[in-house]
Amino acid sequence: MSTGAVPGPDGRLRCPWGLSTEDYTAYHDEEWGRPVHGDDALFERLCLEAFQSGLSWITILRRREGFRTAFAGFSIAAVARFTAADAARLLADEGIIRNRAKIDATLANARVLAEWPAGDLDELIWSYAPERKGRPVPKTLADVPAVTDESTALSKELKKRGLRFIGPTTAYALMQACGLVDDHLDGCVARRA
């Protein structure tokens, strides 16, 4: 099985995972690896990556709208005000992943982030983006790491500041999804020049 970029039905080369379902193709082509800025937007991605831990991303992607509804559009200020009744509601919500530890971490993280000045989450996360110059372009999936020194450092810093459920692997997935790194394979139509 090839692990390099492969042609899709339209003949354009893509990362192999981006061709496994229509949902993945849209996400691969339009979102993954594109720069994401803004505290609430990054909070959403941080939460979704944490909920994905131990599951396939397609499970999260297909419930994304349910997550957005359940978590007030991932407004940090709104989620920070969630009560015990809201936590109980979330545990009963079939539109999301009903994992108590992940729900509790999301609410706790929102409360921590609500205390930060506006723009600090964005600034902090993006301060861990590695230099693009000199970073090798992955040719196959085997060239894409699960963890890097930067993701380990980002995870440690977020934990130090009180955030939960954000280990180095989750931090790297966040970095990939939000465009801090471009792990689209060599030749992939979605790879930035």
73 CB neighbour count, 10 Å cutoff: 12
From 17, 57, 116, 126, the catalytic residue: 57
- Considering the candidates 24, 32, 44, 49, report the single residue annotated as catalytic: 49
Q: What H or E segment, with its residue span, contains residue 164?
A: none
Tell me, yes or no, if 24 is annotated catalytic.
no
Q: Residue 57 catalytic? A: yes
To the query of whether residue 17 is one of the catalytic residues in this protein, the response is no
Catalytic residue among 24, 27, 32, 128: 27
Written as six digits, the tokens of 114 are 């609500």
Residue 37 phi, psi dihedral angles, 5° rounding: -130, 160
DSSP string, 35-99: ---SHHHHHHHHHHHHHHTTS-HHHHHTTHHHHHHHTGGG-HHHHHT--HHHHHHHHH-TTS---
Active site residues: 27, 49, 57
